[in-house]
Structure 1
Amino acid sequence: MPSRDFKRTDRVGAELRRELGILVHTAVRDHGLPSCSVSDVEVTRDLDWATVWVTALLPGQSKEVVKALNELAMEFRRTLSRSMRLRRVPELRFKYDDSMDKGDRIDQLLRENPLPDADKQED
């Protein structure tokens, strides 16, 4: 029997990321939420919980975005149960993904303090 290089949780997470991306985009437009997007979804092994990582266009509004999306989580889950072919849709937890903010901060620090040229170090 051939070995599987992928897990069911990865496939479910990818499908949830696609579906939730659409739902979050619609919620931002309909409910007047600050602009945000789904960056990743991590599903537990037993498929009971899904952690949805979101990024906000303006990092200062991240708490507001996460709070609003957690309030809409039951509505999202109900919609997902109609559109996905799963026996049980995982419960959703929204968390802010600050990796983009950290990357921007590192980028800013590197621009402010450039590294010395490699050519000068060899001399």
Structure 2
Amino acid sequence: MDSTRQKKISRLLQKEISEIFQREMRAVSMGTMVSVTAVRISPDLGQAKTYLSIFPTGNIKEVMEQIDEQTAQIRFALGKRVGKQMRIIPELKFYVDDSLDYLDNIDRLLKK
């Protein structure tokens, strides 16, 4: 169960990381649209699991490799944005959020 503080930090990180991808890290996304669907923060606020939705889904693996290579720069940009609000900037781990693909698959199966 997430505490109120974890929920607030998660919302803040989701907003800021999505702005970083939209404005500063366009080269990393390689022409795809990257959106942050969720951020889950650990109880000690030291690690943040960030779930990304990537569209179009053709080259997800390459985009995720680029994002993983640029994690330190993304964390640095995040630190510049939220450094006054947080004492420790959490370690970032990125995961693909495939819930939309799952919903599309269910819709397709139900229409048959």
TM-score (norm 2): 0.86
Q: What do you get for the CA RMSD once the two structures are aligned?
A: 1.8
| Matched residue type, 2:105 | R
Q: Distance in 1 between matches of 2:101 and 2:79?
A: 33
Gapped runs of 5+ residues in structure 1?
1-5, 113-123
1:56–1:7 Cα change, 3 Å: same
Gapped runs of 5+ residues in structure 2?
none
- Are 2:101 and 1:104 equivalent residues in the alignment? no
Percent of aligned positions that are identical: 29
SS in structure 1 of the partner of residue 89 of structure 2: coil
Q: 1:1-123 maps to which residues of 2 (within 5 A)?
A: 7-27=4-24, 29-31=26-28, 33=30, 34-84=32-82, 85-112=85-112
Contact 2:41–2:49 at 8 Å: present in 1 too?
A: yes
SS in structure 1 of the partner of residue 62 of structure 2: helix
Tell me which of the two structures has the higher relative contact order, counting C-alpha pairs closer than 8 angstroms and 6 or more residues apart: 2
Q: Distance in 1 between matches of 2:10 and 2:64?
A: 19
What do the CA deviations read for 1:40-93 (whole angstroms, capped 9, x no partner)?
Answer: 110001111101100111223222222211211111111111211210110101
| Matched residue type, 1:50 | A
- Per the TM alignment, residue 28 of structure 1 is displaced from its structure 2 partner at its CA by 5.1
1:32–1:70 Cα change, 3 Å: closer
Q: Distance in 1 between matches of 2:100 and 2:29?
A: 23
Runs (4 or more) in structure 1 with deviation over 3 Å come to none
Q: Distance in 2 between matches of 1:38 and 1:32?
A: 12
TM-score (norm 1): 0.79
1:32–1:94 Cα change, 3 Å: closer
- Aligned length in residues: 108
Contact 1:77–1:91 at 8 Å: present in 2 too?
A: yes
- Per the TM alignment, residue 30 of structure 1 is displaced from its structure 2 partner at its CA by 3.5
